[in-house]
A and B are shown apart, each in its own frame.
Chain A
């Protein structure tokens, strides 16, 4: 990764196409995100946001176009074995937390670095304890996921993603399944990460949060990026009528 200059984008997509059967989900998406930036992808449901996110770490293979993350040409990586180093660089946090229910909080965090990356367990455990402190869950090491609230589980999931020591973290609507009072505790953790210079890509419906933390916002609709730019422009001076109408709908809903 050192060979990449600080100025060159860390993530670069060019004309990415993806279909599921007859449904074309991504119709030529191009975007670039620099190291240390926080990018938010917003848009109506079914616009391809989550698919786009999953293309970045190779969970979904693309039909056409190129995806570069750091030194990896993601679109060329098809075998699970080849994807391991990419997954080391790019972590992901999911809407449904997806903690492993048969393992304790500590084990959830430690598992992948030990079993996948082959790192020494003691070292990873020390790191995991620091990460738990960072997501404000010290003392929950031996709890099982089912004993935690949704917000706590999601923070463990973030710690688990961080334990891979990634260069990028992808967040897929991570607050959408949470009760309202737990949303802020999860957003606070993401805000800290973003301020600390972690490259974050978020698919989110939290418009105010996106406006606050994002360096860059992408608005997707029907498989394309309709508009992108700094949050101030995008949220306050939308050029595209579809974006304007989308913002009108979601912001009035939040206000109500």
Chain B
């Protein structure tokens, strides 16, 4: 154990310890009925993981959470990068607007952003005669992307700000223009600083995807609620503990990797 990297040890403890804890919680709640509750969970695993019994498709359940998180990451990295460029633009007006948007989005509770999507976005948009539907899934992705965009923009800006001003000045003295300085000098140095923080944002987004239940998409929580409604509320705790385990198993490795990268950067500098 002592030869392991600190976060490897933390990972081993966490990844084995947390499931044990959850199991103990199950035992505490269900006592002799634990076996039965576990049987139900095994039965319902398919629908909880994929939205359909028998592991068919990815459209619902936990895989929907993963899909919408990945989609929200793609969207928010793109919009966050644009917003970040806006906050360091030469034009004061663009800078002010971008900073305003960042602060507005950053201070929007995620749940409110999701509710807003539910009521603000139409159910479909007609484009040149074809109708593009805004499914609950799309609404959830948009709603999750809004606050995350601001976080991504802040993480990017933090990385860019961390590069000493002397680097900018020197690059300018060598004839580089602003875009070139970002591309050749600043961003290559900022990326290692940005990545761990970015992964923390992604892990938070992933956990936050459980809020998507309010948009009416068939994510893992809405599936869990359906199961509880059909199989009886005595299994609610078991189902919720199972969902918790799923989120943990997915988010914990990401968080561990982020911590490891952070340590490597600290040791390098």
Residues of A within 8 A of B (CB): 57, 59, 80-81, 83-84, 87-88, 91-92, 94, 96, 98, 100-102, 111-112, 115-117, 160, 164
Contact A111 B169 (CB under 8 A): no
Complex: A101 Cα to B162 Cα, angstroms:
14
Contact A96 B175 (CB under 8 A): no
> Which of A59, A83, A87, A115 neighbours the largest number of chain B CB atoms within 10 Å of its CB?
A115
> Which of A59, A83, A112, A117 neighbours the largest number of chain B CB atoms within 10 Å of its CB?
A112
Complex: A91 Cα to B176 Cα, angstroms:
12
* B176: nearest chain-A partner, CB-CB: A116
Contact A94 B169 (CB under 8 A): yes
Contact A91 B173 (CB under 8 A): yes
Nearest CB in chain A: distance from B163 CB, A:
10
Contact B166 A80 (CB under 8 A): no
> Which of B170, B172, B178 neighbours the largest number of chain A CB atoms within 10 Å of its CB?
B170
Nearest CB in chain A: distance from B105 CB, A:
31
Residues on the B chain within 8 Å of A80, using CB: 172, 177-178
Nearest CB in chain B: distance from A190 CB, A:
17
Contact A98 B170 (CB under 8 A): yes
* One of B181-189, B203-211, B251-259 at the interface: B181-189
Complex: A92 Cα to B188 Cα, angstroms:
23
Q: Given the known A-B contacts A100-B185, A102-B188, A102-B189, are A112 and B166 also in contact in the complex, defined by CB atoms under 8 Å?
A: no
Complex: A94 Cα to B168 Cα, angstroms:
12
New A-B pairs, 20, CB < 8 Å, besides A59-B173, A116-B176? A57-B173, A80-B172, A80-B177, A83-B175, A84-B175, A87-B175, A94-B169, A98-B164, A98-B169, A100-B171, A100-B185, A100-B189, A102-B188, A112-B174, A112-B175, A112-B176, A115-B180, A116-B174, A116-B175, A160-B174
Q: Given the known A-B contacts A98-B167, A115-B180, A116-B180, are A164 and B174 also in contact in the complex, defined by CB atoms under 8 Å?
A: yes
Cβ contact of A92, chosen from B164, B173, B180, cutoff 8 A: B173
Contact A94 B166 (CB under 8 A): yes
Interface CB pairs A-B, < 8 A, 18: A59-B169, A59-B172, A80-B172, A80-B177, A81-B177, A91-B173, A92-B173, A94-B166, A100-B167, A100-B170, A100-B171, A100-B185, A100-B189, A101-B189, A102-B189, A115-B176, A115-B180, A116-B174
Residues of B within 8 A of A (CB): 164, 166-167, 169-178, 180, 184-185, 188-189
* A101: nearest chain-B partner, CB-CB: B189
Residues on the B chain within 8 Å of A92, using CB: 170, 173
Complex: A83 Cα to B180 Cα, angstroms:
14
Q: Given the known A-B contacts A96-B166, A100-B167, are A84 and B173 also in contact in the complex, defined by CB atoms under 8 Å?
A: no
Q: Given the known A-B contacts A100-B185, A101-B189, A115-B184, are A84 and B172 also in contact in the complex, defined by CB atoms under 8 Å?
A: no
Nearest CB in chain B: distance from A236 CB, A:
35
Residues on the B chain within 8 Å of A115, using CB: 176, 180, 184
Complex: A98 Cα to B165 Cα, angstroms:
9
Task: Identify the 9 closest CB pairs spanning chains A and B, nearest first.
Answer: A87-B175, A112-B174, A98-B170, A116-B175, A92-B173, A80-B177, A98-B166, A84-B175, A102-B188
Nearest CB in chain A: distance from B179 CB, A:
9
Residues on the A chain within 8 Å of B171, using CB: 100
Residues on the A chain within 8 Å of B180, using CB: 115-116
Complex: A178 Cα to B16 Cα, angstroms:
53
Complex: A164 Cα to B170 Cα, angstroms:
13
Complex: A111 Cα to B188 Cα, angstroms:
14
> Which of A80, A94, A160 neighbours the largest number of chain B CB atoms within 10 Å of its CB?
A80
